[in-house]
Amino acid sequence: MRAFGGTVSGLMQKRSVRLAAIIAVLAAGGALASTWRPAIAPIASPEPASFPAQVVARGAVLAKLGDCAVCHTADGGRPLAGARPLATPFGTLYSDNLTPDPETGIGQWSAAAFRRAMKDGVARDGSHLYPALPYEHFTHVADADLDALYAYLMTRAPVHQAAPANRLIPPLGFRPLLAGWKLLFLHHGPVPVDPARSAQWNRGAYLVEGLGHCGGCHTPRNLAGGEEGWHAYAGGLAEGWHAPALDAANPAARRWTPDALYTYLRTGISPDHSAAAGPMGPVTESLSTVPDADVRAIATYIAARMAGHETGDGTPRPIDAPARAAAVAPAGAVLFAGACAGCHGSGAPMLAQGRPQLGLASSLTDPDPTSASQAVLRGIEPPVAGRGPKMPPFADSLTDAQVAEVLAYVRARYTNLPAWTGLAQRVRAARKESAQP
């Protein structure tokens, strides 16, 4: 669910230039910082029965809030056993095995070793961990919560599975460079409590900035792959999808109230917006299982971050201008009628069942057409409990040009916003991102 999204800059897309810049920055940092961290002695795997049941139960909830299983489970693999490939601009990483297997997992890790990994990004053996593990967020998690997470992980079934070797661009495989990265981007300490805000807001801040690591996708990243703190929640990239801005620039047609966010995060769909798609699917699946109060807290905090968000010209009903769109994008109109209208058109059963119209979908009002492209190319699987919105992928039936035509049509039909530019190239880029490493 996490990937590095570079800032959008044509020049920086050139790999060689980026590499050089990164290495320069990190080398400088590395020279200043001590790169060496000591190993923490291995321990005998603790007896599962030694952990109190209620602590394990809390850890289970925290693991859902942090979505550990999403990155640490391979497609069709055993939960938490790692080996899932994560594509980054720096190469492909494979997630670690979090089960308590002594050889290939964390079975020999003490609680202190686990805490250090989460807060400092250092493995038990002292090596630096790649910030694909978002420890710049996890560093804010309270020790008691980390211990509960530890209890949960250590009581899972051990799975003997070693992850394949990472395939990073050669110099970046040199872990000590990461010390420099951390110096720049890892800021220790708890999430500050704001006494002017409600307890619910503060709880939300703790969850979002910490375990939830929402900024990991929703905040733009700089060259070195660190989050741009001064542009927090201005939007970012994740696994080829565009994570929309969660600040005042959020593109939704209707305001994200705390209630709407709560419904979306809990059920995978908001009747005033759309279904959770791409990487948000697994997030809502996890959040469907955690206590209500935590989801409410997250919703309150995120809704507050979007303060100042305007919903355009105040049009009460979702925009739907088929005649205008057909004039602007006639080829798209034909494709829409045959490919999309069976679900998204007027009189379609999905709409009769109360599913939101496309005029409410943020992916269409987003200045960035990437998520809309991915939804068309890859489809949507029911986000929560395997039951709900299901959209087929069109990657094999529609060409890039045809997807672009459809997108131009829906942009013109369901929004009053200017047309997206360069759609065919954007779709092509999105299709390339879809390919598994």
Residue 365: CB minimum distance to other proteins, A: 24
- Kindly write down the DSSP assignment for every residue of 100-124, as one continuous string: --TTTSSTT--HHHHHHHHHH-B-T
Residue 393: CB minimum distance to other proteins, A: 8
Which is nearer to other proteins, 312 or 379 (by Cβ)?
379
Neighbours of 13 (CB within 10 A): 12
Residue 337: CB minimum distance to other proteins, A: 4
Which is nearer to other proteins, 68 or 297 (by Cβ)?
68
Computed on alpha carbons and rounded to an integer, the radius of gyration of the chain in Å comes to 22
Which is nearer to other proteins, 7 or 397 (by Cβ)?
397
Q: 367 and 418 in contact (C-beta within 8 Å)?
A: no
Neighbours of 287 (CB within 10 A): 26
Which is nearer to other proteins, 48 or 190 (by Cβ)?
48
Neighbours of 45 (CB within 10 A): 16
Euclidean distance between CA atoms 366 and 245, whole angstroms:
9
Euclidean distance between CA atoms 135 and 116, whole angstroms:
10
**Footprint of other proteins (CB under 8 A):** 48-49, 53-57, 59-61, 69, 76, 79-80, 152, 155-157, 289, 331, 334-335, 337-343, 345-350, 352-353, 379, 382, 385-392, 394, 396-399, 402
Q: 363 and 278 in contact (C-beta within 8 Å)?
A: no
Residue 17: CB minimum distance to other proteins, A: 36
Euclidean distance between CA atoms 111 and 22, whole angstroms:
33
Residue 156: CB minimum distance to other proteins, A: 7
Euclidean distance between CA atoms 53 and 63, whole angstroms:
15
Q: Give the residues across from 236 on adjacent strands.
A: 243
Residue 262: CB minimum distance to other proteins, A: 19
